[in-house]
Amino acid sequence: MSTRIHARYLIETPYPVEHAAQVMAGEQSSGTFTRLANETDALREAHGAVVENIETLEAVEAPSLPMRADLAPQGHALFQRALVELSWPLENMGPSLPNLVSTVAGNLFELKEFSALKLLDIDLPSAFADAYPGPQFGMSGTRQLTGITSGPLLGTIIKPSVGLSPAETADMVTQLVAGGIDFIKDDELQANGPHNPLRARVDAIMPIINAHAERTGKKVMYAFNISGDIDEMRAQHDYVVAAGGTCVMVAVNSIGLAGVAHLRRHSQVALHGHRAGWGMLSRSPHLGMAFDAYHKLWRLAGVDHIHVNGLRNKFSEEDASVINSARACQTAMFEAPAAGYQIMPVFSSGQSAAQVADTYQALGNSDLIYCCGGGIMAHPGGIAGGVASLRQAWQAAMANIPLATYAREHRELAQAMETFSV
């Protein structure tokens, strides 16, 4: 395995591509806009970024992102797109996630030479695996915590997102666990607000989950949102653990890589990673970061689950991107002996029984959390009917039985297909 860090980008530039790539390499390593007296050839050789590969793509007549007219070179007519791969010696920053981000992203996105730039993927040396333990539970550990050895974890989100009291939240949890749910999460907007503080919510919810586990042997996983400052998150995590909880949730973009890594080293339960704010990085094809690069950072930091949207979702992400993201979560990050770091992809956003067959066929497995809000709550048979419809849909999909055929003998699935199919 290479001891260098590799990153791949999509760029667009009115300058010669080779020149633009060298600007990227210099800006993010030893160079600056002009050669310095102490920037020796030996220093460049030891610490400079290397342009490993350039693949020229199409050229366009107009810049994809706003660009000052005076920044383009005189006489240029086109904006050239290309795939560029850079590499850096590990010695520049060591196995440090915050400093890795500063290196592979940093100032690149505002350089004058570029009318578009997006980080597509990163490959890291095994030293990062030595420095960061990664997910504590991942796919297999989440199954052990829930006792669900096969099939998806069927989940939901507490709705309305905010406004419910602890008692009202507990009433909903009572209905959900009685209805056969496997996984429940707080909405990312509900953390420790004064109308529904975390500790009061734990006190109201965990007795219900614990009592259900004693009766049935099934312990529903509830992801309590503990996003906050470091000391606050540690204390809230400890409170959840003391109450018998098995999962906490954090908004990863809000608390940052250092926050997640710190919590991972302290945590005794699964870390559910919500990617709220992801669209800022991903929505433009011309700017930001692709999921292939993004999710590796959070896997190293230590999340056990991360959201990937879902098929025919309510957001802007295309179905192929959703499936590619889910597959990426399930793929080993490193070569043996440091292989692994697989995490549970979380399907959500406008999901119901109607997308199940397509999801299973596209992904090829059921190692996922399948979260439905309206797909459960808006089911004509209520919460129990919504959960049953999802379980029936997955049974059919995994048995390669068309949903319409299975629905003939499964009322809840038939109702879901009539209600949610478009």
pTM of the model: 0.94
pLDDT at 15: 95
Compute and round to an integer the Cα radius of gyration of the chain.
Answer: 24
Residues 79, 166, single domain; the answer is: no
Residues 274, 340, single domain; the answer is: yes
Q: How many domains does the chain have?
A: 2
CB 247 within 8 A of CB 222: yes
Angstrom distance (rounded) from CA 151 to CA 129: 29
Residues 83, 171, single domain; the answer is: no
pLDDT in tens, the chain (422 residues): 578 999 999 999 999 999 999 999 998 887 655 566 667 777 777 788 999 999 999 999 999 998 887 777 877 789 999 999 999 999 999 999 999 999 999 999 999 999 999 999 999 999 999 999 999 999 999 999 999 999 999 999 998 999 999 999 999 999 999 999 999 999 999 999 999 999 999 999 999 999 999 999 999 999 999 999 999 999 999 999 999 999 999 999 999 999 999 999 999 999 999 999 999 999 999 999 999 999 999 999 999 999 999 999 999 999 999 999 999 999 999 987 777 899 999 999 999 999 999 999 999 999 999 999 999 999 999 999 999 999 999 999 999 999 999 999 999 999 999 999 85
Angstrom distance (rounded) from CA 326 to CA 27: 33
Residues 288, 160, single domain; the answer is: yes
Domain boundary among 131, 155, 176: 131
Residues 361, 409, single domain; the answer is: yes
CA-to-CA separations, 392 to 245, 346, 409, 417, in angstroms, rounded: 28, 19, 10, 11
Residues 116, 37, single domain; the answer is: yes
Residues 108, 248, single domain; the answer is: no
Domain residues for the domain of 296 are: 138-420
Question: Any residues with CB less than 8 A from the CB of 35 and at least 6 apart, and which?
Answer: none
Residues 169, 309, single domain; the answer is: yes
Closest CA to 293 of 76, 103, 155: 103
Residues 243, 385, single domain; the answer is: yes
**CA 310 distance to own-chain centroid:** 12
Domain at 146, CATH number: 3.20.20.110
Domain boundary among 97, 131, 165: 131
Residues 116, 224, single domain; the answer is: no
Residues 77, 183, single domain; the answer is: no
Ramachandran sector of residue 117 (left: φ over 0; alpha: ψ -120 to 50; beta: rest) = beta
Domain at 90, CATH number: 3.30.70.150
pLDDT at 356: 97
In the DSSP assignment, the letter for residue 330 is H
pLDDT at 422: 55
Q: Which two tokens stand for residue 339?
A: 């292989």
pLDDT at 34: 59
CB 158 within 8 A of CB 184: yes
Domain boundary among 73, 104, 131: 131
Residues 237, 305, single domain; the answer is: yes
Q: E strands along 216-302, which residues?
A: 221-225, 247-251, 270-274, 287-289
Angstrom distance (rounded) from CA 179 to CA 157: 14
Residue given tokens 């406004």 in the structure block: 163
